[in-house]
């Protein structure tokens, strides 16, 4: 089976590069039919409102939600985290699968993007924050798995992980090892 990368818009090519580096097969998800070939998912960074508008009149997100609810390992970075969270954007509901709320573009505009030292699982490394959201609250069985100083920048609930940063832009060994484990083990990956 393969990892499906949502490819409506955003950094899907960068996530494909991460998967190439760990010898994982992948396909770009553009329609519901593509979901039949995957056993894990990545929802990339990009523009969350654009992604919601693109899919508004088709059933891709309905089927995407069913696939994630079936328990397949799912990673959302930046806009992907927003899509997974409990939000309403421009009157459109997100997937509402991750018990957290986020504030879009919380660190400012594109020119206010930065790199920061993130404690992620059992390692610490520098990661990129590009027009990044902030996680403003978590609830239910959502666990913290990454922090920037005292700020929550990564969460996990069962088979779903959401990150406010872009590890696919650095592809450090720590992240690649984590990604490989997550794709293989999903909900059984250790947490902080």
Q: Which of 100, 121, 128, 168 is catalytic?
A: 168
CA angle in degrees (0–180, nearest 5) for 166-180-30: 60
Q: Which of 14, 78, 121, 128 is catalytic?
A: 78
Q: Between the CA of residue 175 and those of 124, 140, 172, what are the distances in Å?
A: 10, 26, 6
Cβ contact 88:110 at 8 Å: no
- Identify whether 78 is a catalytic site residue: yes
Cβ contact 76:182 at 8 Å: no
- Identify whether 188 is a catalytic site residue: no
Q: Which of 14, 15, 128, 166 is catalytic?
A: 166
Which helix (H) or strand (E) segment holds residue 149: the answer is none
**Burial group, residue 31, by CB count within 10 angstroms (0-12, 13-18, 19+):** exposed
- Identify whether 166 is a catalytic site residue: yes
Return the active site residues. 78, 166, 168
């Amino acid at each position: 089976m393969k990892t499906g990368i949502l490819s409506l818009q955003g950094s899907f090519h960068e996530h494909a590069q991460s998967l190439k580096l760990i010898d994982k097969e992948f396909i770009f998800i553009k329609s519901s039919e593509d979901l039949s070939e995957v056993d894990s998912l990545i929802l990339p960074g990009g523009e969350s409102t654009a992604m919601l508008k693109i899919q508004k009149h088709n059933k891709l997100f309905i089927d995407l939600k069913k696939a994630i609810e079936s328990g397949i390992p799912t990673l959302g970075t930046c806009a992907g985290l927003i899509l997974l969270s409990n939000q309403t954007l421009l009157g459109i509901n997100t997937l509402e699968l991750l018990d957290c709320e986020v504030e879009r573009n919380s660190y400012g505009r594109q020119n206010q993007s930065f790199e920061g030292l993130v404690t992620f699982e059992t390692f610490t490394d520098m990661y990129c924050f590009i027009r990044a959201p902030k996680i403003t609250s978590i609830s239910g069985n959502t666990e913290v798995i990454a922090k920037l100083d005292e700020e929550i920048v990564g969460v996990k609930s069962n088979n779903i992980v959401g990150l406010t940063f872009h590890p696919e832009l650095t592809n450090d060994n720590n992240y690649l090892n984590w990604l490989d484990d997550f794709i293989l083990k999903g909900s059984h990956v250790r947490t902080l």
